[in-house]
Amino acid sequence: MTSEAPLAVQAAITGLSNYRLSSGDILTVRVLGEEDLSKEKVRLTDAGTVSLPAIGEVRAFGLTMGELERAVEDALRGRYLVNPKVSVSIDEYRPFYINGMVEKPGGYPYQPGLTVRKAASLAGGFRERASLSKIYIIRERDVTQRSQRGDLNTLVFPGDIVTVDESFF
């Protein structure tokens, strides 16, 4: 079981997304009944902000979609609308990266439920000399940027870097 299992279990129980927004995510922000205040397919800036009509720049970095919805509602409430209803959806997640002994190393679009096995498939599969027991992941959210050991079933998240080492036997 991976270290992310508690988050996945928690999300399944609550039905809410624990996904944290960051630079590069592309969002659609809709204000119910207010097309002029809505914005489609907007990419979070390198600072993790999004610019919205009437309220300007809103910090989204590290927030869940629900938290961003509440922040936008609070910014609109009173000055512009009496009781705003906001929905946020992710159009495109930021990429993950895979290198080492895969056919096509590089960055690939993240997909929810992604594992190392699925990530390698997106990268054309493992090379003949790939070591399936020497898989390492650097988590985007890990401030130390330390490599952690993984396996084929380890979850991969946006911004993560997966390295598949070479087998010497």
Q: Convert the pLDDT of each residue in 155-167 to its tens digit.
A: 999 999 999 999 8
122 in the Ramachandran plot: left (φ > 0), alpha (ψ -120 to 50) or beta? alpha
Stretch among 3-12, 37-46, 112-121 having the lowest mean pLDDT? 3-12
Tell me which residue of 33, 35, 36, 65 sits closest to 50, measured CA to CA. 65
* 78-105: average pLDDT: 93
* 103-107: average pLDDT: 97
* 117-142: average pLDDT: 94
Residue environment code for 33-67, b if the CB has 16+ CB neighbours within 10 A, otherwise e: ebeebbbeebebeeebebebeeeeebebbebbbee
Residue 46's pLDDT band, with cuts at 50, 70 and 90, is: very high
